[in-house]
Structure 1
Amino acid sequence: MRQAELDSVVRHLYVHVPFCPSICPYCDFHVLTRRAGLVEAYLERLDQEAARLSETYALDLDTVYVGGGTPSFLRDDEIRALATAVQRHLGWGRLENTLEINPGTVSAPRAAHWRELGFDRASVGVQSLDDTTLRFLGRQHDAAQAREAVTTLVGSGLRVSGDLITAVPGQPLDSDIRGLVDLGVGHVSAYTLTIEPGTEFARRGVNVSEDDEREGFERTEELLTGLGFARYEVSNYARTGQQSRHNLAYWQGRTYLGLGPGAAGHYPAGTEGLLTTRCTNPHLHEWLTGQTGEVQPVDATEYVTDALFMGLRLKDGIDLSDLSRRAGMDVAQEYGAVIRRQVSRGLLVQDGAQLRATPQGWWVLNQVVAEFLNA
């Protein structure tokens, strides 16, 4: 095995804000409602953790993504304190700085404030532009608020991405998609409604049929590509130049810092025999006491299978030569039998060093990657 060639400088940062005004019935992220003193304690601990990360890793940030939860649920002075702590200790993204936003928290003065802090991209949890669908999803905003919020954010000069949930029973998907595009967004993330264990929807016995899932999956692509958006990842579409640079780092297997309770990071390992280390921070109350997170060492084999799982989500797939260089192994040779088998089934396409999934391969991607894991 030759020497792996991984960038030792971390160029991406994810910051988790766990607070939400309410918990949606489909959500399985680490979120909770705010209580007196809790946000203040969170911000104090965030500053301490940012300082520790700055002392531990070499940093030259390209992107920062503040997600949650509902980061825009923080008050103006609180989001300023968060941005100040990040910028003081870790820097700010040269290429992109994203803030996740709930439509019910948007106003023109707040959008101007977010821009002043250095955010240049907004990811808005629209989910639907139909009031019945929004009520089913347990959202606190209505369709009118969503339209007004997106219009305000676009008008503020932020690059705007709108999130939609598909395969919701009775959802008018066509009007949701057309309506969102008409508001001027440059990016759309369209995720199938997934019922996760432990959520309110799971307790209620809500189900999503495979037929509805597939219909939403295919209709979303048909509509968005017809409206001038290019599908660049399984669930993500963008106009030219509007791709999420931060999320591309995940799909391309790059390292990134995770800051905040429940945040996941993918770090340079600094240990012989390992390529990287993945760490997931504990939930808020444990995190506030300084407890460390769950650490998962990643060797070359696991790095490659992780990279294949993420990279094959991209329309362009993954460059096996680049992956081989980063991992220190000849991926095409090591997994040649699996690749040939998947190509013969019509699930993968190989064009020189480039390996990508077909539309059918995307639909069964977990099965495709399982074969690499079991090779």
Structure 2
Amino acid sequence: MEKIGLYVHIPFCKKKCFYCDFVAYPNLENRIDSYFDNLYKEIDLYQKNISVDIDSIYIGGGTPSYVDYKYIEKLVEKLKNFKVKNLKEFTIESNPNSLTLDKLKKYRELGIDRISLGVQSFDDKVLKNVGRDHSKEIILNDIKNIRKVGFKNLSLDMILNLPGGDFNVVKKDLELIKEIKPEHISYYSLILEKGSYFYTLYKKRKLKLMDDDLERGIFLYIEKQLKDLGLFRYEISNFSKKGFESYHNKKYWSEGGYLALGLGASGFLSNIRYSNVRNFIKYENLINSGKFPIETKEFISKSEREKEYIIFKLRECEGINLKEFEEIFGYSLLNKYSKIVDKYYNLGFFNIGKSLSFTHKGFDLSNEFYLEII
């Protein structure tokens, strides 16, 4: 039986950040009880109807650490009714100011072995600019407690090109990262998502950001500094120490199967991609009528899978294993796409050997290639 990942969405947080367009709702304490009751029922529905072997769990949000520990404890107990005996990785997302030493100890007791901490920046001015509700001091204290209770797999989420986050801020952030010694770093560029406050400001020309060339230059500096710290780039925005690559997230990039539970969660099983409803009332009504709370469902054909496989695998630094591609799809990638691959190889986008992978230039300008391949 194929081993799949499991994603669980917790849509609550204390404050919605200005760049966020996720299914996340601030200060809705009055909905937490009923939401988890419905989430447990959704788990029961899947356990009665499908048989899966799960080897990674990722609890995301929102801010899962925002809710009381008792909800996570019961959630994990419910999840044990799936086949989850030999987990490779068990992650919970958290934000500074939502963790306590006691909560962290209890997470460890539940078997959670990886913390993904939403830092974004250590600079207090930048944090205020993006609507965060914590300071550098709080971040560092939380990290101290994460290490104190014994977590040996810490991932920090950082964002480049936040308002006020100039090159000097990045350099100071990297100095702190050097002291913290995390096992994993996600360093994303700011994306202006429709529905976020920053998107609205940008449309009104009230948001000042770096130009693309400056941002690319700073990202190259970040990559070199992290490499010197033993954090190697293995995906377009992700860096880790050897052996600490995100096992769960690699399923997304390699078209592996994953079951998704909770409001707005998206999954991929048996060549079907689906997304749950994003409305609390619809979610509750569907579950209480014994139906899966799915809003959209799409069968991914072989040709669509092929294009997605190319796009997602090229996100990883190791790229596409050409022999593996031929075994999966039955023909040579280089033969089928010779014209487009040759074009971008001659432009300096690709390394070609046993694998097809992007160069630095290819990563920076990958959208040009993607627009042609789809």
Structure 1 position 279 matched with structure 2 position 274: yes
* Distance (whole Å) between structure 1 residues aligned to residue 50 and residue 2 of structure 2: 7
Residue 115 to residue 251, structure 1, CA distance change in 2 (3 Å): same
Residue 93 to residue 213, structure 1, CA distance change in 2 (3 Å): farther
The aligned counterpart of 2:187 is: 190
- Unpaired stretches in structure 2, ≥5 consecutive residues: 287-292
* Distance (whole Å) between structure 1 residues aligned to residue 236 and residue 157 of structure 2: 14
* Distance (whole Å) between structure 2 residues aligned to residue 82 and residue 122 of structure 1: 17
Pairing of 1:73-84 with structure 2 (within 5 A): 73-84=66-77
- Alpha-carbon displacement from aligned partner over 1:89-138 (angstroms, at most 9, x marks no partner): 45366110000011111222111111111100000001111100110111
Compare 212-221 and 141-150 and name the one that shifted more. Answer: 212-221
Structure 1 residue 51, shift from structure 2 partner: 2.2
Compare 246-255 and 85-94 and name the one that shifted more. Answer: 85-94
> Is contact 2:163-2:208 (8 Å) kept?
no
Alignment-mate amino acid for residue 284 of structure 2: L
> How many residues align structurally?
358
Q: What is the aligned-residue identity percentage?
A: 29
> Is contact 2:186-2:239 (8 Å) kept?
yes
The aligned counterpart of 2:200 is: 203
The aligned counterpart of 1:5 is: none
* Distance (whole Å) between structure 2 residues aligned to residue 323 and residue 44 of structure 1: 43
* Distance (whole Å) between structure 1 residues aligned to residue 327 and residue 95 of structure 2: 41
> Is contact 1:348-1:356 (8 Å) kept?
yes
Task: Report the 3-state secondary structure (helix = DSSP H, G, I; strand = E; otherwise coil) of the residue aligned with 1:80.
Answer: helix
* Distance (whole Å) between structure 2 residues aligned to residue 325 and residue 50 of structure 1: 35
> Is contact 2:52-2:82 (8 Å) kept?
no
Structure 1 position 166 matched with structure 2 position 160: yes
The aligned counterpart of 1:61 is: 54
Pairing of 1:1-375 with structure 2 (within 5 A): 9-89=2-82, 91=84, 94-158=87-151, 159-171=153-165, 172-205=169-202, 206-208=207-209, 209-268=211-270, 276-285=271-280, 286-290=282-286, 291-352=293-354, 354-373=355-374
> Is contact 2:18-2:130 (8 Å) kept?
yes
* Distance (whole Å) between structure 2 residues aligned to residue 228 and residue 29 of structure 1: 31
TM-score in terms of structure 1 length: 0.91
- Alpha-carbon displacement from aligned partner over 1:284-319 (angstroms, at most 9, x marks no partner): 422222242211110111101111111111111121
> Is contact 2:18-2:131 (8 Å) kept?
yes
Structure 1 residue 173, shift from structure 2 partner: 0.3
> Is contact 1:323-1:331 (8 Å) kept?
yes
* Distance (whole Å) between structure 2 residues aligned to residue 278 and residue 198 of structure 1: 23
Compare 338-347 and 251-260 and name the one that shifted more. Answer: 338-347
Structure 1 residue 157, shift from structure 2 partner: 1.9
* Distance (whole Å) between structure 1 residues aligned to residue 229 and residue 277 of structure 2: 42
Task: Report the 3-state secondary structure (helix = DSSP H, G, I; strand = E; otherwise coil) of the residue aligned with 2:26.
Answer: coil
Alignment-mate amino acid for residue 369 of structure 1: Y
* Distance (whole Å) between structure 2 residues aligned to residue 54 and residue 340 of structure 1: 48
> Is contact 2:351-2:359 (8 Å) kept?
yes
Task: Report the 3-state secondary structure (helix = DSSP H, G, I; strand = E; otherwise coil) of the residue aligned with 1:340.
Answer: helix
Structure 1 residue 207, shift from structure 2 partner: 4.3
Task: Report the 3-state secondary structure (helix = DSSP H, G, I; strand = E; otherwise coil) of the residue aligned with 2:80.
Answer: helix
Residue 117 to residue 130, structure 1, CA distance change in 2 (3 Å): same
Residue 264 to residue 297, structure 1, CA distance change in 2 (3 Å): same
> Is contact 1:233-1:315 (8 Å) kept?
yes
> Is contact 1:308-1:369 (8 Å) kept?
no
Alignment-mate amino acid for residue 362 of structure 1: F
Structure 1 residue 329, shift from structure 2 partner: 4.8
Residue 265 to residue 328, structure 1, CA distance change in 2 (3 Å): farther
* Distance (whole Å) between structure 2 residues aligned to residue 367 and residue 301 of structure 1: 20
Alignment-mate amino acid for residue 352 of structure 2: Q
* Distance (whole Å) between structure 1 residues aligned to residue 106 and residue 299 of structure 2: 40
RMSD, aligned CA? 1.7
Alignment-mate amino acid for residue 164 of structure 2: G
- Unpaired stretches in structure 1, ≥5 consecutive residues: 1-7, 269-275
Structure 1 residue 330, shift from structure 2 partner: 4.2
* Distance (whole Å) between structure 1 residues aligned to residue 365 and residue 253 of structure 2: 17
Structure 1 residue 36, shift from structure 2 partner: 4.6
- Alpha-carbon displacement from aligned partner over 1:141-181 (angstroms, at most 9, x marks no partner): 11000011112112222210111111224320011122023
Task: Report the 3-state secondary structure (helix = DSSP H, G, I; strand = E; otherwise coil) of the residue aligned with 2:245.
Answer: coil
Compare 281-290 and 97-106 and name the one that shifted more. Answer: 281-290
Residue 238 to residue 87, structure 1, CA distance change in 2 (3 Å): same
- Alpha-carbon displacement from aligned partner over 1:248-300 (angstroms, at most 9, x marks no partner): 111112111111111110111xxxxxxx1110111042222224221111011
Residue 36 to residue 130, structure 1, CA distance change in 2 (3 Å): closer
> Is contact 1:195-1:207 (8 Å) kept?
no
